[in-house]
Structure 1
Amino acid sequence: MRPWRSRRPLTPAIDSTRGSSVNSLQRRCVVDIAAARAVLARYMLPVEPEQAGIINAFGRTLAQDLASDASVPPRDEAAKTGYAVIASDTACATRESPRRLSVLSTASTFSKRIEPGTVMPVREGEPLPEGADAVVATADCYRPEQGPEVLVFIETEPGANVVPAGSRLPAGEVLLRQGCVVGPVEMEILAMLGRHGVAVRRKPRIGVLTTGAGVVDILEDVKPGQSRNAARYALIGMLLDSGCDLGRLIHVRECRVGLERALAQCAGCDAVIVALASNDKHDAALEALSSVGTRCFDRVQIAPGGACAFGIA
């Protein structure tokens, strides 16, 4: 579910078939599914952004585009373990006629640059020393007794076994778009960018109100004619699965008066879901909604589930 919050309309809700406010039980607004979705889209806005650490950002919605501020890798890297070489030094090399090249120690003064006729050991993922333009894999050469020279058995081309600078992430490229949900792949990209914190949308805070005199909580004993409040926990599961925070969780036994009181207690929530125990309580719930805000529609043309209303406060 997309993060959202409600906002007060600029004008009262209008029944498109009657041209009048629907904040009266004498004037009902019944809409089809498309119209209901249009109303929801009109009055739902993204919640405000906040900063979250990379771990706490998991499952949250990004509030900004993220671009790489540097190339990855920043320099050419070895794609295989072997020896960094100047490709032209391997010209015409074969197993029958290998090229003999001097091995520079990685701890030597010249460890950051190789000259013609020299090579340097590199591991996969290490940056190439200056002057090198290719890597000969360990399987294609032989260094007798780890001596000062290595025999190269193949001719290489510039760029062979090399990961070019910026080939994974070019500098300035947008990698994550605003609105995407942070998952494992997105966390890896954030780590590659060095982002220990990121702007994400605050989790919407949703209240859940359930009703019914014969509905009891899961810790209460069920008497004849009663049932457990399973709907509450189904709604809670759906909200948590959608990335929401839970607001007030209230069960109301007296429908209208209790709902009005419970809705007032949910003033700090971004939205409130009211689950009725039966459809015959729908009118009482509409009256309670009218007392705290504006009803936008009262029913939806769908079965089952038509007793679905939406309002704003």
Structure 2
Amino acid sequence: METMISLERAWEIVSQKIQPIKTEKVNLHEAYHRILAESVTSSIDMPPFDRSPLDGYTYVASPSDLMAITLRQVSEIPAGVYPDRDLVQGECAKIFTGAPIPQGANCVVRMEDTESQDDQVLIRQPVLPGANIVHQGEEIQKGEIILTPGSVLDPASIGLLAALGVEEVTVYRRPRIGLLSTGSELMEVGQPLLPGKIYNSNTYTLRGLLMEAGCEVKVASFVPDRLPETIETLESFKDMDAVVTTGGASVGDYDLVREAFVGMGCELLFWKLNLKPGTPAAVGIKQNQLYFSLSGNPAAAMITYELLVRPALKKMAGCLDQEEVFPVKMAGSFGKSGKQRRFLRARAVLREGEIWADPNYAQGSGILRSMAGSNLLVDVPGGHGPVKEGEMLFARWIPSEGE
């Protein structure tokens, strides 16, 4: 087991152990924010015919049409109706947005550039051949691969699949995650708070984060700092894809989670990350099932989740995209320095096209309020010294729902 390792080394270890979960077919209505498991190939051209992108008149244009011309209207073509006749020189058809272009016609002129009386239409500003026509297959051609495995099915992707007539897609099953909070100091919300106790907030924040990541979550009642109950509860998650625990992760006499991992047959992959907050994190594995032990300090638990657990869940669910880092300028200072790498909670501010990071006033590992309103984690290297306003650092987003 490795100890006090970098975040990058931790991810290298964890990512090598991740096994993609099984796939399933779902109806398009149930596919929002799911991860595609198979390529989707278009069975049709899109659009499936030459169509008009606007309301106007379609006719047979000539490059020599430089002055106004008068044409005879012979038909009207609304959207959804296929033309019942071809057009020849000197004729036109009134056409509406999305309607098919009739045979013979080679352009569409805007309605506002015409005048009509009875069956006579004056084209005040003639257009060239090919003007204002969306050609068959211009957007997508039959046989073209539209979406590839690992794609997140956002509303635009779902709409595209619907436009192609796709009814079902093969996606990765939602990860099933067990969640356990430990600590004899915990009390459930809704009960009168007793002396020396705190309310169990971590279950609520982590459950929300897991659900936000598209997981199915099985929440166990929190357990006190006793080894038998901890092992028993962990073993109740044997049908889960992964398990996340919070609390009992440090070096105290009552920090029993690592011992519980070993006691129920886990191989410990590492303990302690060389960063703040969230140093006392551990990961174990048992029969391809990953176990994540996070700090009991609320902000530390959330930050370690964002840095390590969320990327692991995304890979497990078949998502190819991982979080990227990007430069930010600091809109405020942070006075502390230290040997360890630190992640500051901050709010993104856009100034003259640049992203600035406004650090939260409180950065303690137990200050849950510091995460509210924060959408950036700013990476401060170990040994950096106090952070100054205007300084350039790197950051990563704290994803919001659906991302």
The TM-score normalised by the length of structure 2 is 0.65
Aligned match of 2:299:
none
Structure 2 counterparts to residues 51-130 of structure 1, below 5 A: 51-88=25-62, 91-92=64-65, 94=67, 98-106=68-76, 111-130=84-103
Aligned match of 1:32:
6
- Does 2:154 match 1:183? yes
| Runs (5+) with no aligned partner, structure 2 | 78-82, 287-403
Structure 2 counterparts to residues 242-281 of structure 1, below 5 A: 242-277=213-248, 279=250, 280=252
Letter in 2 for 1:143: S
The answer on whether the counterparts of 1:282 and 1:307 sit within 8 Å (CA) in structure 2 is: no
Relative to structure 1, is the Cα distance of residues 208 and 38 closer, same or farther in structure 2, using a 3 angstrom cutoff? same
Letter in 2 for 1:44: I
CA-to-aligned-CA distance 1:189-233 (integer Å, 9 cap, x gap):
121111222111111011111111121110222111111101111
The structure with higher relative contact order (CA 8 Å, sep 6+) is 1
Secondary structure of the structure 2 residue equivalent to 1:105: strand
Relative to structure 1, is the Cα distance of residues 30 and 156 closer, same or farther in structure 2, using a 3 angstrom cutoff? closer
| Runs (5+) with no aligned partner, structure 1 | 1-14, 17-28
Secondary structure of the structure 2 residue equivalent to 1:239: helix
CA distance in 2, matches of 1:92, 1:254: 87
Letter in 2 for 1:311: G
Letter in 2 for 1:142: E
Aligned-pair RMSD on alpha carbons?
Answer: 2.3
Letter in 2 for 1:42: Q
Aligned match of 2:393:
none
Aligned match of 1:286:
258
Larger radius of gyration: 1
CA distance in 1, matches of 2:249, 2:197: 13
Aligned match of 2:350:
none
Q: Pick the aligned partner of 1:196 from 161, 167, 188.
A: 167
Relative to structure 1, is the Cα distance of residues 53 and 225 closer, same or farther in structure 2, using a 3 angstrom cutoff? same
CA distance in 1, matches of 2:268, 2:205: 25
Aligned match of 1:138:
111
The answer on whether the counterparts of 2:60 and 2:105 sit within 8 Å (CA) in structure 1 is: yes
Q: By how many angstroms is 1:119 displaced?
A: 1.4
Q: Percent identity?
A: 28
Q: How many residues align?
A: 280
CA-to-aligned-CA distance 1:111-146 (integer Å, 9 cap, x gap):
3311222211111211101111111222233221xx
The answer on whether the counterparts of 1:114 and 1:130 sit within 8 Å (CA) in structure 2 is: yes
